């Protein structure tokens, strides 16, 4: 493929690999939203890297015709951080599931958000471990019976968006995979945001969470009110840990220098006297008296 | 008169023992002497007892001080804490604080009581007894006194004129006292030469990374490797690179693999516990064929173990770390200069063969300072073979090739798009769980080790051919073994040594030749469970009569200790060890 012929249509971002997901999986919607978002943003496939960890949703990079890295369980964010810092001109999209990002990779979520690393992090949230066949995740509601919680889940669920906001993410939104167009719009903003953007997409697992997931969610989903101020942390947190309903849209958006900016600034300061020669580097090891 | 001398300075926190050792070492480096300087501390974060040992020689040396010829002891209580690490020579001279009564077990040594505290106070530098001691030993032991004096002046140069003056007065007072000391029989003789650099193994590794073209470093602080993070944190931004301190070692190696995926040469550094956390990512680096360089500076283990002291007990972990069949290369360094070459080689191998390479160092060489010539810090640099435009048409990232190396594209290259994968994959990079693919890809990945073994059969061999006894050792054991051999060979014993620098893949042909040429073998290592011996047995046939001298780390290997073990082995007194499994 050469960039001259490339027309930036959603279809061109499809790889020839067929997804392994179950029929009806929410992740199909997310994938379609991503094709659209990349096309509408005119992202050059060779300048885009999609990084994932392990899980059903982490298979996604293989289905996108860009550079891709399907890495280790929980480690998408450190890898994506390395990619972005080493080659800041690349568009970096990290993707994965709620177990991957909140359980085994939870620590990286905290620190990647805190550092405000320039990337979009898309979490496909199905409230369950799908690939390992139905165990409780940190997002599984209290009391739910799963393969690993025979007597009901003894642990309370956490809301990824409230975490992202408190961790220092500078852009936080929630989407629903049943709404391909709306989610694509959110993805476009997430990718365009300069800093760490977090997009939690409710992406139902019809295999382990029941056939009615989509129907139930459609009834619960509502858009964030027009008068919501995404610059206000207090206001944003009102749409997390909701008792009823699921609010979608941009919950939080602020601007802070990203880690890429900070690193560039450090380089400028370190090179105030120009780039040092090699012998300057060895000077501190030589007797200087 | 002697061509070499070892001096230890021991004191409490604030006595400035380590500062004195620093000054002395730098002064000797200025006069072109060879120096190996080691430090030891008590467990306190700051303050507390400390000691510094400087071995000085007019000829190249390879081991840290074994027996100490001269000591400055500001406090016997503090000396007692380092008793197992600092061994005075039978004829050592010990300058000690006058008001502190010496222990009984040093009766053979010459004890010279000096009122350090009082004299320093009189000179107007109450906290300058270390400087006073420097003045005294420089004159008394034939050390390069003018350079030591200049080094003291330089050290205090940024303080007020009064402080500098007081310290110089203390130094001169010390030199004056020396004229009254007649007990010293062993003095250093040397001819001054051009100045040398004074560096630690961590520092030469860090400089090597820069020279090799590394422009991305990610690391998590851990003793005894943190100096690499410190140095690259300062220098990478200056030359356009990036240094990231991560939240843990999982993230450190993750960021390195991510950065390397984009074509930027990348490295991390850690110690045993950190390597454990990196084990899974070593598997990914190997499987996805994304180059990575890891410097592992061993310390006493397992668990937190003895973080400030050396051991060779990460060998098996480093060679086998990760899961599955995971080709990687492991290069050991045996001294400070070697750490430079091993690190550049690690980059060369990682980049050319697209796999993880671990530089295996240990605390003793990573943190001690040695003199070296700037000209020694040079090594050929090789780069990654990127896919050519031709290879990018119908591009196969994991194309099966004769040497296992496939053309690599990096983001930004049009037509090079592929998904790299921890899942087993076909030539295109598409996930596959087929046996035939797995077998073919394992074979492809392992062929790289064959190619590395051919191109980099790195080893050192010392001593005569047809030896009566051959020593097998690796890493930091090489220095003391080499010096022991010189003495043994001089005394007419036919003892040789083989030190593989390439640990994985081993230079098997040369090793087997060496083994075949020795009448008997002795394995020497700082690992209680004899990991090197165990590893060798998985790689080559060793005679049943192989002697094994394997002990815990926590104390460096001594030249005399090796000579003693060689004598015992020749008398068949070293156990032929049944390995603990």
Question: Which B-chain residues 372-391 have CB contacts (< 8 A) with chain A?
Answer: 374, 377
pLDDT attached to residue B537: 95
pLDDT in tens, B61-92: 999 999 999 999 999 999 999 988 899 999 99
Average pLDDT over residues B391-396: 94
**Dist CA A116 CA A253 (whole Å):** 12
Residue B524 has pLDDT above 50, yes or no: yes
pLDDT over 70 percentage in chain B: 99
pLDDT band at B185 (very low <50, low <70, confident <90, very high): confident
DSSP string, B306-359: BTTS---TTHHHHHH-SSSS---EEEE--SHHHHHHHHHHHHHHHHHHTSEEEE
Nearest CB partner across the interface for B246, out of A47, A72, A78: A78
pLDDT over 90 percentage in chain A: 96
pLDDT attached to residue B46: 73
Lowest mean pLDDT, pick from B277-281, B359-363, B382-386: B382-386
What is residue B447's three-state secondary structure? helix
SS (H, E, C) B472-483: ECCHHHHHHHHH
Average pLDDT over residues B266-295: 98
pLDDT in tens, B196-220: 999 999 999 999 999 999 999 999 9
pLDDT over 70 percentage in chain A: 99
Nearest CB partner across the interface for A86, out of B26, B199, B242: B242
**Dist CA B489 CA B479 (whole Å):** 15
**Closest chain A residue to B392 measured between Cα atoms?**
A1
Tokens of A182: 């709306």
**Dist CA B284 CA B421 (whole Å):** 8
- Interface contact B255-A81, CB threshold 8 A: yes
Residue B291 has pLDDT above 90, yes or no: yes
Q: What is the dihedral of CA A63, A69, A73, A74, to 10 degrees?
A: -110
Please, are residues B267 and B225 in contact by the beta-carbon 8 Å criterion?
no
**B423 near A CB under 8 A:** yes
ipTM above 0.90, yes or no: yes
DSSP string, A185-225: HHHHHHHHSSSEEEEEEE---TTTS-TTHHHHHHHHEEEPP
Average pLDDT over residues B471-477: 98
Question: Which B-chain residues 282-301 have CB contacts (< 8 A) with chain A?
Answer: 284, 288
Please, are residues B525 and B519 in contact by the beta-carbon 8 Å criterion?
no
- Interface contact B417-A276, CB threshold 8 A: no
pLDDT attached to residue B580: 40
**Interhelix angle for B336-353 vs B435-455, to 10°?**
140
Average pLDDT over residues B374-391: 96
Indicate the helix (H) or strand (E) that contains B498.
strand B495-500
Q: Which residue has the higher pLDDT, B203 or B48?
A: B203
- Interface contact B419-A68, CB threshold 8 A: yes
pLDDT attached to residue A1: 47
Average pLDDT over residues B363-369: 97
**B147 near A CB under 8 A:** yes
Average confidence score pLDDT of chain B: 95
What is residue A69's three-state secondary structure? strand
pLDDT attached to residue B579: 45
pLDDT band at B578 (very low <50, low <70, confident <90, very high): very low
**Closest chain B residue to A48 measured between Cα atoms?**
B411
pLDDT in tens, B92-109: 999 999 998 899 888 789
- Interface contact B414-A3, CB threshold 8 A: yes
Handedness of CA B373, B374, B377, B378 (dihedral sign): negative
Indicate the helix (H) or strand (E) that contains B235.
helix B226-238
**Closest chain B residue to A52 measured between Cα atoms?**
B421
pLDDT band at B577 (very low <50, low <70, confident <90, very high): low
- Interface contact B254-A71, CB threshold 8 A: yes
Q: Which residue has the higher pLDDT, B106 or B528?
A: B528
Strands B197-200 and B87-97: unpaired
pLDDT attached to residue B1: 76
Considering just the CA atoms, what is the radius of gyration of chain B in Å?
26
Residue of B171, B262, B289 to mutate, testing the A interface (most A Cβ within 10 Å of its Cβ): B262
pLDDT band at B576 (very low <50, low <70, confident <90, very high): low
**Closest chain B residue to A72 measured between Cα atoms?**
B422
The whole-angstrom distance between B91's CA and the closest CA on chain A is: 32
Nearest CB partner across the interface for B420, out of A15, A69, A74: A69
Report chain B residues whose CB lies below 8 A from the CB of A168: none
Nearest CB partner across the interface for A67, out of B235, B281, B417: B417
Tokens of B428: 């295109």
Average pLDDT over residues A199-204: 98
Burial class (CB in 10 A: 0-12, 13-18, 19+), B449: middle
pLDDT attached to residue B581: 38
Other CB atoms closer than 10 Å to residue B173's CB: what's the count?
Answer: 21
Report chain B residues whose CB lies below 8 A from the CB of A66: 417
To the question of pTM greater than 0.90 for the whole model, the response is yes
Nearest CB partner across the interface for B417, out of A65, A269, A288: A65
């Amino acid at each position: 493929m050469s960039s001259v012929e490339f027309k930036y249509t959603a279809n061109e971002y499809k790889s020839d690999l067929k997804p392994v997901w179950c029929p009806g999986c929410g992740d199909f919607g997310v994938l379609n939203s991503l094709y659209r978002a990349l096309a509408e943003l005119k992202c050059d496939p060779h300048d885009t890297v999609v990084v994932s960890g392990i899980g059903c949703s982490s298979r996604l990079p293989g289905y996108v015709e860009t550079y891709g890295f399907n890495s280790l369980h929980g480690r998408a964010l450190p890898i994506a951080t390395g990619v972005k810092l080493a080659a800041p001109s690349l568009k970096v999209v990290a993707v994965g599931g709620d177990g991957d990002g909140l359980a085994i990779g939870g620590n990286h979520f905290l620190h990647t958000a805190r550092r405000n690393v320039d990337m979009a992090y898309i979490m496909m949230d199905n409230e369950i471990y799908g690939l390992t066949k139905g165990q409780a995740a940190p997002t599984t509601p209290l009391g739910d019976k799963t393969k690993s919680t025979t007597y009901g889940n003894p642990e309370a669920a956490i809301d990824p968006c409230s975490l992202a906001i408190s961790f220092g993410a500078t852009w936080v939104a929630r989407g629903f995979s049943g709404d391909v167009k709306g989610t694509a719009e959110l993805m476009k903003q997430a990718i365009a945001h300069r800093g760490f953007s977090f997009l939690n997409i409710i992406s139902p697992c019809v295999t382990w969470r029941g056939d009615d997931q989509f129907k139930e969610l459609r009834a619960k989903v509502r858009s964030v009110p027009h008068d919501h101020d995404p610059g206000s942390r207090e206001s944003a947190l009102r749409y997390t840990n909701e008792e009823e309903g699921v609010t979608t849209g941009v919950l939080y958006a602020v601007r802070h220098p990203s880690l890429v900016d900070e690193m560039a600034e450090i380089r400028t300061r370190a090179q105030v006297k120009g780039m040092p020669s090699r012998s300057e580097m060895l000077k501190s090891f030589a007797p200087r008296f | 008169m002697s061509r070499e001398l070892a001096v230890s300075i021991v004191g409490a926190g604030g006595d400035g023992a380590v500062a004195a050792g620093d000054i002395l070492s730098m002064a000797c480096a200025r006069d072109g002497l060879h120096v190996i300087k080691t430090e030891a501390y008590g467990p306190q974060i700051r303050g507390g007892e400390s000691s510094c040992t400087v071995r000085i020689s007019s000829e190249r040396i390879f081991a840290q001080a074994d027996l100490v010829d001269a000591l400055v002891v500001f406090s016997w209580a503090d000396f007692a804490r380092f008793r197992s690490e600092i061994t005075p020579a039978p004829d050592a001279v010990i300058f000690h604080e006058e008001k502190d009564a010496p222990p009984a077990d040093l009766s053979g040594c010459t004890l010279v009581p000096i009122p350090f505290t009082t004299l320093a106070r009189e000179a107007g530098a109450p906290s300058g007894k270390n400087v006073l001691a420097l003045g005294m030993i420089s004159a008394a032991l034939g050390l390069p006194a003018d350079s030591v004096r200049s080094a003291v002046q330089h050290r205090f140069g940024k303080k007020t004129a009064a402080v500098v003056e007081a310290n110089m007065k203390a130094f001169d007072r010390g030199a004056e006292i020396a004229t009254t000391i007649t007990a010293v029989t062993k003095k250093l003789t040397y001819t001054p030469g051009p100045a040398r650099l004074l560096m630690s193994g961590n520092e030469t590794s860090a400089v090597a990374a820069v020279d090799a073209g590394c422009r991305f470093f990610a690391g998590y602080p851990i003793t005894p490797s943190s100096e690499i993070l410190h140095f690259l944190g300062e220098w990478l931004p200056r030359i356009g690179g990036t240094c990231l301190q991560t939240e843990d070692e999982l993230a450190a190696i993750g960021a390195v693999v991510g950065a390397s995926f984009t074509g930027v040469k990348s490295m991390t550094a850690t110690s045993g516990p950190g390597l454990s956390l990196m084990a899974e990512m070593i598997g990914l680096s190997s499987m996805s064929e994304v180059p990575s360089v890891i410097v592992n500076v061993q310390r006493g283990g397992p668990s937190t173990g003895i973080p400030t002291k050396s051991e060779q007990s990460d060998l098996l972990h480093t060679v086998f770390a990760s899961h599955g069949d995971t080709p990687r290369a492991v290069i050991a360094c045996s001294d400070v200069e070697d750490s430079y070459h091993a690190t550049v080689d690690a980059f060369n191998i990682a980049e050319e063969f697209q796999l993880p390479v671990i530089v295996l160092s240990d605390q003793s060489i990573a943190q001690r300072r040695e003199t070296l010539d700037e000209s020694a810090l040079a090594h050929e640099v090789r780069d990654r073979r990127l896919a050519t435009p031709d290879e990018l048409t119908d591009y196969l990232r994991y194309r099966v090739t004769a040497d296992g190396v496939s053309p690599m594209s990096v983001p930004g290259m049009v037509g090079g798009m592929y998904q790299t994968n921890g899942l087993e994959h076909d030539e295109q990079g598409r996930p596959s769980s087929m046996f035939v693919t797995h077998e073919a890809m394992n074979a492809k990945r392992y062929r790289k080790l064959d190619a590395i073994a051919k191109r980099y059969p790195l080893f050192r061999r010392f001593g005569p051919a047809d030896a009566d006894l051959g020593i097998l050792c690796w890493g930091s054991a090489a220095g003391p073994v080499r010096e022991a051999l010189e003495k043994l060979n001089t005394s007419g014993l036919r003892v040789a040594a083989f030190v593989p620098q390439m640990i994985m893949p081993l230079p098997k042909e040369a090793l087997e030749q060496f083994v075949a040429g020795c009448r008997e073998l002795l394995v020497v290592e700082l690992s209680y469970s004899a990991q090197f011996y165990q590893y060798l047995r998985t790689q080559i046939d060793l005679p049943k009569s192989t002697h094994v001298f394997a002990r815990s780390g926590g104390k460096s290997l001594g030249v005399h200790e090796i000579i003693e073990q060689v004598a015992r082995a020749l008398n068949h007194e070293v156990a032929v060890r049944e390995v603990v499994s």
